[in-house]
Structure 1
Amino acid sequence: MALIVQKFGGTSVGTPEKIQRVAEKIAQFSAAGDDVVVVVSAMSGETNRLLALAKEITTKPIAREMDVMVATGEQVTIALLAMALNRIGVPAVSFTGAQVPILTDSEHGKARILSINESSVRAQLQAGKVVVVAGFQGVDEKGDITTLGRGGSDTTAVALAAALRADECHIYTDVDGVYTTDPRVVPQAQRLERITFEEMLEMASLGSKILQLRSVEFAGKYNVPLRVLHSFQEGPGTLITTDDEDSMEQPIISGIAFNRDEAKLTIRGVPDRPGVAFKILGPISAANIDIDMIVQNVAQDNTTDFTFTVGNLDYDKALEILQATAKDIGAGEVAGTTSIAKVSIVGVGMRSHPGVASSMFEALAKENINIQMISTSEIKVSVVVEEKYVELAVRALHTAFGLDASRKV
């Protein structure tokens, strides 16, 4: 008998028919003797409907009231799923985030979980019931409803699994696991049977959309085994867990991620003196713009060219700030482009295999793909290329590192 936390997203519970199918899947685990806690999102499209209603009232809604409103989406789902389970003979009870309770800070719209009192959930499990919990929400010390922001339901599931010391946390999606890369770009992409927290964290941060970054961080911190599964297809999915140092067949590269949501900015002729990097990047960070890759080159005339990347949505704002900075510090021209993409190779095997970066560069060179920027860490190498070459680059690297052939991890 195992304790399992399962999470179903909005598309999995998007209609009453799908909710009934989810209930039947949960019933299989309950019948096998497992204790089951289920975390669900709002039905597909419901959150957008609620947000549209708010816009009809005001363009500047109070954050507290927005949380009160959008949290109702998950409340509908948990009640319907509990009804569906009870109808087929599986005793079930629903809990909102406040009823658990899941205690958060008071940052409405992007709250962080502080603690979970799991005693009420355990009591219902001991009574033989499936517990259905609303994802994406909690309650602060004042008793106000809060929401966790993007990826909140995944984070709720992982946090509950950690608090309950669950055997596994199952994340059900519209894909049957984590792949070596996007199968829509590389049809030969393979489903991974296993991947480490470190690798999944890098993949999520570099553009993989399978899991939200916050949930992977939480799982890694509390060592919660995650399994990514298809909502309505049988299969083992992909297990995300700690690094298996004893594995004799650990691949050098586990996956290739890419992100088209990139923009590049360059400020030229910057005086080469201490503190200049802060003067350039400080105002960008103060505007709450995330900076990714950075390259600085020093010329012979004691000036430097400074290049960095930001998200596409932040490009115009960052460009405006950088142009003002250039005037303040006496730099030269400012240039930028949104026609770039980032391609990354990820794998814990890189730690013990030298020459991975050069193999990556060789594969891109064979396709005549120019590298504009490079960034490395212990288990990843990222490059910036022209956006029009991103799919060619991914396919070339997927083949070069032997990921096309079926294999087990």
Structure 2
Amino acid sequence: MALIVQKYGGTSVGSIERIQAVAERVRRWRDQGDQVVVVVSAMSGETDRLIKLAKQLQERPEPRELDVLLSTGEQVTIALLSMALAAQGCPARSYTGAQVHILTDSAHNKARIRDIDAARVRADLEAGRVVVIAGFQGIDEQGDITTLGRGGSDTSAVAIAAALKADECQIYTDVDGVYTTDPRVEPKARKLDRITFEEMLEMASLGSKVLQIRSVEFAGKYRVPLRVLSSFEEGEGTLISFEDNDVEDAKISGIAFSRDEAKLTVLGVPDQPGVAHRILGPIAEANIEVDMIVQNVGADEATTDFTFTVHRNDYASALDILKRTADELGARQVTGDATIVKISLVGVGMRSHAGIASRMFASLAKEGINIRMISTSEIKISVVVDEKYLELGVRTLHEAFGLDQPA
């Protein structure tokens, strides 16, 4: 007998018919002798509907009250799914995040989980019930309802699986697994049977939308095996687990990309200690995250050129801040470009294989794609290129590294 935590997203529970289909799948798992905990999101579109209602009253809704409102979406789903299970002869009990005491901090709309009291859930499982829990939500030490931010139900499921020491956490979604890249960009993309936590974390942070990055971090920290599956078709999905002995066979596991990039450069900065902090300090104080950073020798030995990337949504704010900083530093010029993208190769096999970077650069050069910036780590190489080359770059690298070939 295994203990399985299953998570179903909004599209998987988007109608009564889909909720009944989820109930049938869950019942089959229980009928084969497994203990099952189900974590669900609000029905598709419901969270957006509630946000629109709130904004009709306040342009910036009060965070505490917004959490109270948004948490009702999942409450509807857990009740309906429990009814659907009961209608199929499967005993079930639903709980909100507060009822199973998913304790979080008090950061409304983006809370982080601190602890979970699993006693109530264990008692129901021992009694033969399926436990249905609202994802995306918890309660803080003051007893206030909190929510975890977009995609938070993934994190809820992983945290509950960790608290219960579950055998596996299954994330059911509208895709049937993790692919070598986005099939909408490269139709030859191949579904991976397995991928390591390190690789999935990089893929999520670099633009892959399959899993919320916090859920992958949580799973890696507490060693919870994760599996991504489709709600709409049968299959084994993709298992996200720990590095195994076969990892050296795969040099590259996937290609991630981000369209939401912007580049800023300050030219002719005095080449002296503390300048990098003076440039990036005000950016950090504005709560703007910086990704890639490159510092070059300037036009003369006394100056340097400093370039960094930010999310495209932060471009205008960052540019204003940088212009003020440049004036204070006596820099020559500030330039910016919001028409760039980032393409990344990811694979733990890079650690034991030389020549990955050179092959990447040669493949892009052959197609006339100029690289604007480069960033590397042990298991990834990222390049910034012009936006118009995104799809060509992804397809070129996918072929160059044989990712369309069976593993």
- State the shift of 1:326 in Å: 0.6
What is aligned with 1:404? 404
- Count of matched residue positions in the alignment of Structure 1 and Structure 2: 406
Give unmatched runs, 5+ long, in structure 2.
none
Letter of the structure 2 residue corresponding to residue 251 of structure 1: A
Q: Secondary structure at the match of 1:293?
A: strand
Q: Secondary structure at the match of 1:233?
A: coil
Q: In the alignment, is residue 250 of structure 1 matched against residue 239 of structure 2? A: no
Letter of the structure 2 residue corresponding to residue 206 of structure 1: L
Q: In the alignment, is residue 319 of structure 1 matched against residue 342 of structure 2? A: no
Letter of the structure 2 residue corresponding to residue 255 of structure 1: G
- State the shift of 1:249 in Å: 6.0
Letter of the structure 2 residue corresponding to residue 276 of structure 1: V
Q: Secondary structure at the match of 1:247?
A: helix
Letter of the structure 2 residue corresponding to residue 128 of structure 1: G
What is aligned with 2:20? 20
Is the CA contact (8 Å cut-off) linking 2:375 and 2:383 kept in structure 1?
A: yes
Equivalents in 2 of 1:250, 1:169: separation in Å?
26
Alignment deviations for residues 224-256 of structure 1 (CA, whole Å, 9 cap, x no partner): 000000002000000000011x21763000000
- State the shift of 1:185 in Å: 1.1
Q: In the alignment, is residue 364 of structure 1 matched against residue 364 of structure 2? A: yes
- State the shift of 1:385 in Å: 0.3
What is aligned with 1:48? 48
Give unmatched runs, 5+ long, in structure 1.
none
What TM-score do the two structures reach when normalised by structure 2?
0.99
Q: In the alignment, is residue 276 of structure 1 matched against residue 275 of structure 2? A: yes
Equivalents in 2 of 1:290, 1:248: separation in Å?
32
- State the shift of 1:332 in Å: 1.3
- State the shift of 1:163 in Å: 0.4
Equivalents in 2 of 1:58, 1:107: separation in Å?
19
Alignment of 1:94-133 (within 5 A): 94-133=94-133
Q: Which of 91-100 and 48-57 deviates more?
A: 48-57
What is aligned with 2:164? 164
What is aligned with 2:79? 79
Is the CA contact (8 Å cut-off) linking 2:247 and 2:348 kept in structure 1?
A: no
Alignment of 1:291-370 (within 5 A): 291-299=290-298, 300-370=300-370
Equivalents in 2 of 1:352, 1:401: separation in Å?
16
Letter of the structure 2 residue corresponding to residue 257 of structure 1: A
What is aligned with 2:230? 230
Q: What CA RMSD, in Å, does the superposition of the two structures yield over aligned residues? A: 0.8
Letter of the structure 2 residue corresponding to residue 267 of structure 1: V
What is aligned with 1:201? 201
Equivalents in 2 of 1:332, 1:14: separation in Å?
55
What TM-score do the two structures reach when normalised by structure 1?
0.98
- State the shift of 1:302 in Å: 1.0
Alignment deviations for residues 330-384 of structure 1 (CA, whole Å, 9 cap, x no partner): 1111111111000000000000001111111011111111000000000000000
Is the CA contact (8 Å cut-off) linking 2:248 and 2:352 kept in structure 1?
A: no
Q: Secondary structure at the match of 2:143?
A: coil
Equivalents in 2 of 1:61, 1:345: separation in Å?
40
Q: In the alignment, is residue 5 of structure 1 matched against residue 5 of structure 2? A: yes
What is aligned with 1:266? 265
- State the shift of 1:95 in Å: 0.4
Equivalents in 2 of 1:90, 1:347: separation in Å?
43
Equivalents in 2 of 1:77, 1:42: separation in Å?
6
Letter of the structure 2 residue corresponding to residue 200 of structure 1: M
Equivalents in 2 of 1:186, 1:49: separation in Å?
33
Equivalents in 2 of 1:376, 1:250: separation in Å?
21
Q: Secondary structure at the match of 1:158?
A: helix
Q: Which of 393-402 and 54-63 deviates more?
A: 54-63
Is the CA contact (8 Å cut-off) linking 2:229 and 2:237 kept in structure 1?
A: yes
- State the shift of 1:61 in Å: 2.2
Equivalents in 2 of 1:17, 1:294: separation in Å?
49
Q: Secondary structure at the match of 2:246?
A: coil
Equivalents in 1 of 2:94, 2:251: separation in Å?
44
Is the CA contact (8 Å cut-off) linking 2:248 and 2:349 kept in structure 1?
A: no
Equivalents in 1 of 2:395, 2:70: separation in Å?
41
- State the shift of 1:271 in Å: 0.6
Equivalents in 2 of 1:16, 1:387: separation in Å?
41
Letter of the structure 2 residue corresponding to residue 167 of structure 1: D
Q: Secondary structure at the match of 2:219?
A: helix
Runs of 4+ in 1 over 3 A off after TM superposition: none
Alignment deviations for residues 29-61 of structure 1 (CA, whole Å, 9 cap, x no partner): 011111000000000111111111111111232
Letter of the structure 2 residue corresponding to residue 288 of structure 1: N
Letter of the structure 2 residue corresponding to residue 280 of structure 1: I
CA separation of 1:320 and 1:177: change in aligned 2, threshold 3 A: same
Equivalents in 2 of 1:105, 1:297: separation in Å?
42
Letter of the structure 2 residue corresponding to residue 264 of structure 1: K
Q: Secondary structure at the match of 2:290?
A: coil
Q: Secondary structure at the match of 1:292?
A: strand
Equivalents in 2 of 1:375, 1:249: separation in Å?
22
Letter of the structure 2 residue corresponding to residue 103 of structure 1: L
Q: Work out the percentage of aligned pairs sharing the same amino acid.
A: 69
Q: Secondary structure at the match of 1:325?
A: helix
